[in-house]
């Protein structure tokens, strides 16, 4: 059979099995649900290292040890953030207003998984789905099918062993775009969690289903003059080199205050950054973006050494990030794009206002709504940026990549970061279990309302108006002399009164 037909049949079977299992899961108590979720989280956490290695090997992206950390965030940290959330039965009650809130699941979740974070995102989406009594059908990225399937097998086996009905966790294994498109439109799919490229997210939004999507994260990082330079640069280089820049919240461009530029450059070099000269920068631009406005997929999640080799550049041993000094922002300026690799653009700002202009330009190019990173000891500056920047997350004095997903901040641990209406998304939250719940509300009457009484009196038509109508009727009738004028007048009165009653019933308030 045709591969696409097989893939579509696999998808239909997966949705059918997921729906059947979810119908049984509906009757589970909060205690049963929580036991299953904990078992899945523990099993996923235990396999973090193994699946991290598998993801790096299969995709050719990132660092196995770093993927292990992402798997731990996607399992243990996510579990800790949702374990106390009530998701079954009555979950809230306002006794004063007599309103009771009751949780209900969405049903079947269609989950799209990216190649950059294939196992950690699979763990995360499975946990928040099961916590809310939903089933999940996962469509992996074509370049990460094996590791994603392995991660979901860990989840499914742990869930069933803890008492879940078999079939709650499904994975499509045939890597078909047609099957994925039809999955998102399937009548038994109730919501879509789309993490991936812009085209895929747009497809999710146009599917006719409720969907949580994400936007690109062309994250600027501003080092303001009051920042603790050594710590700021250390955080930025660590963040950018983490899993070779594959987290969408990773810093993409450094904006530095000219007053502290010399110190920043010195610290960058000390932390393993290599600043390209003009000739090297030109070579690197061709590798970053061979086609204007599009990033070369061959650099995504690759080491600095691999990227340098592609550009024909020799870099020092131990280089962790590559930096090109830039002054412009635009689709035809490769260094200003979201590169998802250990490659930085570096801009010099005259002051904080100029820094805002540069950050805004970068965000409008491709990161509107996502995140912005800031290093400063001036809280006034931090709050100004937080108020003025069109982003959903402002990360201050931390690693943006890990901070945005909740690793080093108090934000909800999540591998799906909403960009709000800034970026064309329905939410600006770090998506979590609460986003997969319907909340019903039972409300008792607590107030009385006095309704105005309708008047039934009908305003009669003036007699002279009735007489005029009678005369007009008699003129139009042949043999008018044989017609009784009094009878006609009575008929006209009845008709006029009937019309008035109808007008009053419909809200009419004039005599015309």
Residue with tokens 């108090």: 410
Give yes or no: 171 in active site: no
Return the residue matching tokens 């035809």. 332
- For residues 159 and 371, give the distance between their C-alpha atoms in angstroms, rounded to a whole number: 34
Choose the catalytic residue: 147, 155, 248, 419: 248
Burial 432-455 (b: 16+ CB within 10 A, else e): bbbbbbeeeeeeeeeeeeeeeeee
Q: Which helix (H) or strand (E) holds 411?
A: none
Question: Closest Cα to residue 305, out of 265, 275, 342?
Answer: 342
CA distance 301 to 320: 13
Nearest in space to 267 (alpha carbons), one of 334, 341, 346? 346
Q: How far is the C-alpha of 193 from the C-alpha of 431, rounded, in Å?
A: 9
Contact 222, 355 (CB under 8 A): yes
Instruction: Round to whole Å and give the CA distance between 58 and 146.
Output: 8
CA nearest neighbour of 327 among 281, 359, 358: 358
Give the E-state strand segments of 258-358 in sequence order. Answer: 273-275, 321-325, 343-349
- The structure tokens listed for 507 are 């809200």
Q: Which residues have a Cβ under 8 Å from the Cβ of 67 and sit 6 or more positions away?
A: 51, 52, 53, 55, 56, 117, 119, 120, 243
DSSP letter, residue 446: -
Strands 108-112 and 191-194: parallel
C-alpha torsion sign, points 266, 373, 79, 10 = negative
- Asked if 256 and 349 count as a contact pair (C-beta separation under 8 A), the reply is yes
Secondary structure (DSSP) of 57-75 = HHH--S-HHHHHHHHHIII
Helix (H/G/I), strand (E/B), else coil: 42: helix
Q: Is the dihedral of CA 382, 388, 389, 391 positive or negative?
A: positive
Which residue's structure tokens are 């450094």? Answer: 254
Residue 476: exposure state from Cβ atoms within 10 A (0-12, 13-18, ≥19)? exposed
Q: What 8-state DSSP symbol labels residue 77?
A: I
For 347, residues 6+ apart whose C-beta sits below 8 A from its C-beta are: 253, 254, 255, 256, 325, 326, 327, 358
Nearest to 351 by CA among 236, 266, 256: 256
CA distance 472 to 34: 83
Residues designated as active site:
248
């Amino acid at each position: 059979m045709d591969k696409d037909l097989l893939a579509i049949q696999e998808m239909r079977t997966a949705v059918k099995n997921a729906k059947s299992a979810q119908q049984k899961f509906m009757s589970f108590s909060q205690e049963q649900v929580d036991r299953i979720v904990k078992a899945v989280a523990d099993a996923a956490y235990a396999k973090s290292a193994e699946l991290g290695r598998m993801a790096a090997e299969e995709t050719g992206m990132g660092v196995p040890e770093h993927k292990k950390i992402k798997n731990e965030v996607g399992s243990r940290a996510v579990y800790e953030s949702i374990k106390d959330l009530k998701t079954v039965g009555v979950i809230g009650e306002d006794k004063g207003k007599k309103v009771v809130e009751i949780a209900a699941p969405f049903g079947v979740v269609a989950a799209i998984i990216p190649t950059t974070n294939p196992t950690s995102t699979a763990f995360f989406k499975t946990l928040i789905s099961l916590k809310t009594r939903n089933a999940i059908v996962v469509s992996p990225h074509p370049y990460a099918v094996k590791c994603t399937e392995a991660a979901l097998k860990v989840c499914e086996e742990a869930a069933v062993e803890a008492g879940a009905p078999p079939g709650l966790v499904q994975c499509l294994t045939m890597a078909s775009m047609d099957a994925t498109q039809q999955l998102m439109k399937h009548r038994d799919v109730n919501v879509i969690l789309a993490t991936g490229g812009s085209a895929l997210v747009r497809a999710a939004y146009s599917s006719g289903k409720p969907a949580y999507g994400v936007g690109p994260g062309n994250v600027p990082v501003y080092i303001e003059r009051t920042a603790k330079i050594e710590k700021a640069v250390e955080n930025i280089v660590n963040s950018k080199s983490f899993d070779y820049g594959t987290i969408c919240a990773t810093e993409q461009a450094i904006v530095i205050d000219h007053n502290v530029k010399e110190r920043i450059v010195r610290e960058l070099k000390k932390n393993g950054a290599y600043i390209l000269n003009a000739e090297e920068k030109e070579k690197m631009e061709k590798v970053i973006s061979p086609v204007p406005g599009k990033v070369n997929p061959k650099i995504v999640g690759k080491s600095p050494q691999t990227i340098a080799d592609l550009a024909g550049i020799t870099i020092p041993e131990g280089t962790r990030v590559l930096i090109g000094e830039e002054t412009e922002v635009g689709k035809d300026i490769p260094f200003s794009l979201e590169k998802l690799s250990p490659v930085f653009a570096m801009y010099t700002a005259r002051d904080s206002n100029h820094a805002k202009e540069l950050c805004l330009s970068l965000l409008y190019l491709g990161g509107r709504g996502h995140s912005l990173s800031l290093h400063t000891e001036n809280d006034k500056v931090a709050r100004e940026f937080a108020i003025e920047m069109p982003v959903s997350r402002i990360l201050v004095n931390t690693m943006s990549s890990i901070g945005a997903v909740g690793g080093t901040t108090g934000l909800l641990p999540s591998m799906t970061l909403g960009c709000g209406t800034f970026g064309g998304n329905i939410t600006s939250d770090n998506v979590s279990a609460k986003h997969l719940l319907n909340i019903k509300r039972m409300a008792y009457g607590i107030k009385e309302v006095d309704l105005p009484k309708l008047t039934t009196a009908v305003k009669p038509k003036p007699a002279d108006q009735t007489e005029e109508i009678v005369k007009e009727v008699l003129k139009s009738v042949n043999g008018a002399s044989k017609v009784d004028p009094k009878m006609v007048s009575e008929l006209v009165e009845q008709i006029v009164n009937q019309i008035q009653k109808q007008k009053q019933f419909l809200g009419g308030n004039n005599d015309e």
